[in-house]
Amino acid sequence: MTKIFEMPLYPYTRTADQDAAAPVRHTAMIVGAGPVGLAAAIDLAEQGVPVVVLDDNDRVSFGSRAICFAKRQLEILDRLGCGQPMVDKGVVWNLGKVFFGDRRVYDFNLLPEEGHHRPAFINLQQYHLEDRLVARVRDLQRQGAEIELRGGNRVQAVDDLGDRVRLGIDTPEGPYTVETDWLIACDGAGSPIRSMLDLDFVGRVFEDNFLIADVVMEAEFPTERWFWFDPPFNPGQSALLHKQPDGVWRIDLQLGWDIDKEEEKTPERVIPRLRQMLGDEVAFELEWVSIYTFQCRRMERFRHNRVIFAGDSAHQVSPFGARGANSGIQDADNLAWKLGLVIQGRAPEGLLDSYDAERIAAADENILNSTRSTDFITPKSEISRLFRDAVLDLSEHYDFARPLVNSGRLSLPSVYDGSPLNADDALEGGPARTRPGAPCPDAPAGEGYLLDRLGGAFTILTLDAEAPERVSEAGIDAARVALSAGDDPTGALAERYLGAARSAIYLIRPDQHVAGRWPAYDEARIRAAIRRATGQE
Amino acid sequence: MTDLTLAPNIAGPDDFYAELLAAHEGLTKAESDALNARLILILANHVGDREALRRALAAARHPGTDEA
C-alpha cells in the first residue's frame, strides 16, 4: 500500500510567473507547506487575501513528526474550516502511566474540563494533519479563493527591497524570480530563509539523542500515554509510547550523547531495541525511524520588515510537551488577521509589531516549559538526577510528589498579558481566565458552542447586556454575539465569562483572544479598544 | 511577607538530631544522598509556602545574609 506521505499532493507544474518578462509581484507568499504555512495560507485566503505557498517538496511530511495536537489548535482549525476531519481521524486520550525502573509508579487522568466542543488533545500524525489542510486549500480553490500551492519550488535567494521582497526560486524547469509585498517564512527549524538573511538563532543545545520510531502493530496496549524513566529495556534513559491512528504507535527512546547515529538508525539496531521494550510475542513493523537532537532557542525578533518568521523557523523547543507544531499554529493564528488587515489597508504596518510582542512572549513560555521538562527527563548533573529520582520514588507512594513529575507539560495557549493591543480590564469580578489577552475558553451556548459563534472577525460578545448589533470603527466592523447566562444551563458560560459580575461586554479579536471587557456597553471605550487592538492608537 | 523561622523551634533538639543521624545509619553514601533528597521534598511540601521556601533556599545557600 502506498503511504500517504509517499504520494505527491501538489506536484510541480509550470506557472505563468516563469514566463513573465518582468518579475510578477504578489501580495503574500509563504515558504513552507507544513502545518504552520498551510494554516497561515488558509487564514489569509479566508480573508480574501491572495496567497501563494512555495515548497521545495510536493507531499506531506515524511514520518509522523508532530503527533499531539491540543484543544486550542483544534479550535483554530475549526475557525479555518478543517477541525472536524482532524478530530474524526485523531485518537483522543486522557490516561497516562508513569514507570520508573521496573515499577509502575502512578497513573493519571487529564480529566478534561466539561463544556468544551473539542477534546484536550488528539494524537494525529503530522502527515494526516497536512493532508487535511491541503484538502481545505483545495476546497477554497474550488470556491474561487486565490490560494495557490507550488510544489517543487525551492527558494534560492531572498532580497529585502524595502517596500517588497524579491525571491529567486529554483524549479525542475530552471529558476525564476518573483516579488511579493509580504513573505512568511514557515520553512522549519533549519530555515533556509533565515540563513539567507543571515539572522541569528541562538539558545541552549541539549546534548542528547533520541530515537523516534513509528511502529505498526496490532497490540493490546490501551490508548494511553506511557512514559518510562530509567526502564530495564533502556537503562539510565527514558522512553515514551503513544498511540496514533491506523494502528501506528510512536516510540521515543533516549539514547544518550555518544552514539553512532547512522548505526543506531539501522533496522539491525532498532528492531532488537524495540523487541526488548515490547516483548518477543508482539509482531510489529517499522514505518519510520529517525534520530533527533534538539535545541531550545528563538530568533531575537520574528518580524524583519516584510519577512516574518512563524513556527520552528522562529523558535525551536524540545519535543516534550508537544509545543512545536502547536505553538506554530498559534503563530499563524496570531499573524494572519493582522497581516490581512495591513494588506487591506485597514490597519497600519505597526500592528505587525504586536505579533513580535505576543508571540515572542509565547515562545519564551514554551521554551521555559520544554527546558524544564527536558531537565527532568534527562538530568544533566548528579544532583539533578538525585532529586529527579527522589521525586519519582516518592510519587509511587505520595500524591504530593506527582505534580513534580515532569514528563512534558502539554501545550496550553499563552495569555498575551501586557500586550500593546489589550484594553484595561474593566470588568470587576470577571474571571482571571478571560482577562484581556486571554484566549477565549469554549463554553456551551444554546444548541452549540461559544467558539463556533465567534468565527474569525472582531466580535462584541454580550452577556446579559445591551449593545448595538454592529460597531464600525476605523475600518473595522465588529458584529455582536448576544448571549445570556441562561444559554448554558451547566453554568460554565457564566463561570468562564461573568464570574462575580452580573453582565459583561467582551471585545474579541479575530484570533479569539480577549481585547477588552466591561460591565456594560460604553460606546467610547469600545471604539477606543477597537483602535487599540488594531494598532491605531 | 512570610517569615522563615530561624529561631529555635524544635523541642528536644538532641533527640531530633540523633533521629536524623539514625535515619542514615547503615546506608551507603548514595542511599543517604537519596534519603536527604526525599526528606527535602517531603519537608518542602509540608511547608508549602513558596516565599518561605525561597527564604529557606537562600538561607541554606548563603547562611547569615539578609535574604532569609
**Which pLDDT belongs to residue A279?**
87
Q: Which residue of A has its CA nearest to B45?
A: A400
**Which pLDDT belongs to residue A129?**
96
**CATH 3.40.30.120-classified regions of chain A:** 432-533
Q: pLDDT band at residue A244, thresholds of 50, 70 and 90?
A: very high
Q: What percent of chain B has pLDDT over 90?
A: 88
SS3 content of chain B, % helix, strand, coil (to 5): 65, 0, 35
Task: Please state, as a whole number, how many other Cβ atoms lie within 10 Å of the Cβ of residue A485.
Answer: 17
CA distances to A332, A369, A440, A450, A502 from A519, rounded to whole Å, are 32, 35, 17, 19, 8
Q: What is the mean pLDDT of residues A144-171?
A: 98
Mean pLDDT, rounded, of chain A: 94
C-alpha cell at A408: 512534558
Residues of chain A found within 8 Å of residue B41, distances taken between Cβ atoms: 387, 390-391, 394, 401, 404
Residue A363, pLDDT above cutoff 60: yes
Q: What is the mean pLDDT of residues A272-287?
A: 89
Task: Please state, as a whole number, how many other Cβ atoms lie within 10 Å of the Cβ of residue A137.
Answer: 24
- Contact A389/B at CB under 8 A: yes
**CATH 3.50.50.60-classified regions of chain A:** 4-91+120-201+297-366
pLDDT one-digit tens code per residue, A305-359:
999 999 999 999 888 888 899 999 999 999 999 999 999 999 999 999 999 999 9
Find how far residue A533's CA is from the centre of its chain: 23
> What is the C-alpha separation between A503 and A519, in angstroms, rounded?
6
- Contact A390/B at CB under 8 A: yes
**Which pLDDT belongs to residue A208?**
87
Give, as one character, the DSSP assignment of residue A311: G
Q: pLDDT band at residue B66, thresholds of 50, 70 and 90?
A: low
ipTM surpasses 0.90 = yes
Q: pLDDT band at residue A420, thresholds of 50, 70 and 90?
A: very high
**Which pLDDT belongs to residue A61?**
82
Residue B68, pLDDT above cutoff 80: no
The count of CB pairs under 8 A between chains A and B is 25
Sort residue A391 into left (φ over 0), alpha (ψ -120 to 50) or beta.
alpha
**Is domain A4-91+120-201+297-366 in CATH 3.50.50.60, yes or no?**
yes
pLDDT one-digit tens code per residue, A350-362:
999 999 999 999 9
Classify domain A202-294 by CATH number. Answer: 3.30.9.10
The CATH fold assigned to A432-533 is: Glutaredoxin (3.40.30)
| β-sheet with A121-123: strand ranges across | A68-70, A121-123, A91-92
Task: Please state, as a whole number, how many other Cβ atoms lie within 10 Å of the Cβ of residue A187.
Answer: 27
Question: How far is A234 from chain B, CA to nearest CA, in Å?
Answer: 22
Residues of chain B found within 8 Å of residue A404, distances taken between Cβ atoms: 41
**Which pLDDT belongs to residue B67?**
57
Residues paired with A291 in a beta bridge: A211
Residue B8, pLDDT above cutoff 80: yes
CB atoms B41 and A386 under 8 Å: no
**Which pLDDT belongs to residue A411?**
84
C-alpha cell at A378: 534527562
> What is the C-alpha separation between A451 and A461, in angstroms, rounded?
11
- Specify the range with the lowest mean pLDDT, choosing from A42-46, A205-209, A218-222, A484-488: A218-222
